[in-house]
Structures are given as structure tokens and as C-alpha cells.
């Protein structure tokens, strides 16, 4: 909980895009409430659910069919957090991940009774951001385009 408290107390923190469980959402909500986020204080922390659209062992997140249940849980966590959208990191070259995230978004929207365009989609990286935008991304991660490639990992 200590790391979560530090994170939500950052004055410029807007969103956390890696929520993959109800227990993590609860920890963030409690810490955000303790930090005065939400009702009467600063803006609530926006939470994105990380959705596993690739089934790669190295990727985290809930399965697409689990997103609606977690979104409902987050929506009931109080005023210190707010469900904002869905995030995925697809497998390289798998543009179908964007369609799978949109389908999950549509299911979440139906479950929550909100318009689909109120649920943001964070998807796409430096190599595929243009296609992600065409598929409805509202946020993209383009660090390599801006800062260059990461150095290769060192062997231990």
C-alpha cells in the first residue's frame, strides 16, 4: 500500500492505466481518499483497466470478458477514483488487439449504461499508433518515436 499512497499523493497524477483487479482498485481508492482526492478535494484519480488482448505470458491484465465486471466495481469505489477507460498492449503486429479492446469497451458501455464514446481507449505504440487512432484510440504511447529506442537489456 505504501507505493500506492506515494503515487496517488503526486499532485500532477491524473490517471493509472494498469488496474487489473478489484483489490488493486480498492487499494488505489482508499489511498486516493486518504490523499484528499475526489469530492471536495482535488480531482479523482482516473483508472484504466488493463485488458489482455494478446494472451502473451509477458502481458498482464484482465481477459476482455472480465472488463465489464471490474469496471462496475471501480464505478462503485466512491468519489476518490473514476473509471476512465481501457488500456491494452497488444502483441507486436497484432492489429486485431485494437478490435478486441473496442469490443470489450462496447460491453463495458452496455453494462454501465453509458455511451461508448465516454469510455476512453489507450492502445497503440510507436509502431502502430496510426492504426490505433483509426480504430478509436484516445491515448497512444509513442515514447520510442520521441525519445528513440530503448537500450538493449543487459544479460546477467
Q: Please write the tens of the pLDDT for every residue from 97-119.
A: 999 999 999 999 999 999 999 99
> What distance in Å separates the CA atoms of residue 151 and residue 44, rounded to the nearest whole number?
35
Mean pLDDT (the chain) is: 91
> Across 22-36, 37-51, 129-143, which has the greatest mean pLDDT?
22-36
Place of cell 482526492: 37
Cβ atoms within 10 A of the Cβ of 20, count? 17
30-80 confidence digits (pLDDT tens):
999 999 998 777 899 999 999 999 988 888 899 999 999 999 999 999 999
Stretch 6-14: mean pLDDT: 91
Parse the chain into domains and list their residue ranges: 2-143
pLDDT of residue 1 exceeding 70, the answer is no
Torsion angle defined by CA atoms of residues 73, 78, 82 and 88, in that order, rounded to the nearest 10 degrees: -30
CATH of domain 2-143: 3.20.20.10
Amino acid at each position: 500500500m505504501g507505493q500506492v499512497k506515494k503515487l496517488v499523493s503526486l499532485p500532477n497524477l491524473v490517471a493509472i492505466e494498469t488496474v487489473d483487479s478489484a483489490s488493486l482498485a480498492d487499494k488505489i481508492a482508499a489511498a486516493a481518499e486518504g490523499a484528499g482526492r475526489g469530492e471536495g478535494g482535488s480531482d479523482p484519480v482516473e483508472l484504466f483497466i488493463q485488458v489482455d488482448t494478446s494472451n502473451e505470458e509477458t502481458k498482464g491484465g484482465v481477459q476482455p470478458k472480465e472488463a465489464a465486471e471490474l469496471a462496475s466495481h471501480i464505478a462503485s469505489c466512491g468519489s476518490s477514483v473514476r473509471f476512465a477507460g481501457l488500456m491494452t498492449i497488444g502483441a507486436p503486429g497484432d492489429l486485431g488487439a485494437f478490435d478486441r479492446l473496442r469490443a470489450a469497451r462496447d460491453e463495458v458501455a452496455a453494462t454501465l449504461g453509458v455511451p461508448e464514446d465516454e469510455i476512453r481507449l489507450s492502445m497503440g505504440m510507436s509502431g502502430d499508433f496510426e492504426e490505433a487512432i483509426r480504430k478509436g484510440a484516445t491515448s497512444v504511447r509513442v515514447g520510442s518515436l520521441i525519445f528513440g529506442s530503448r537500450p538493449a537489456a543487459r544479460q546477467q
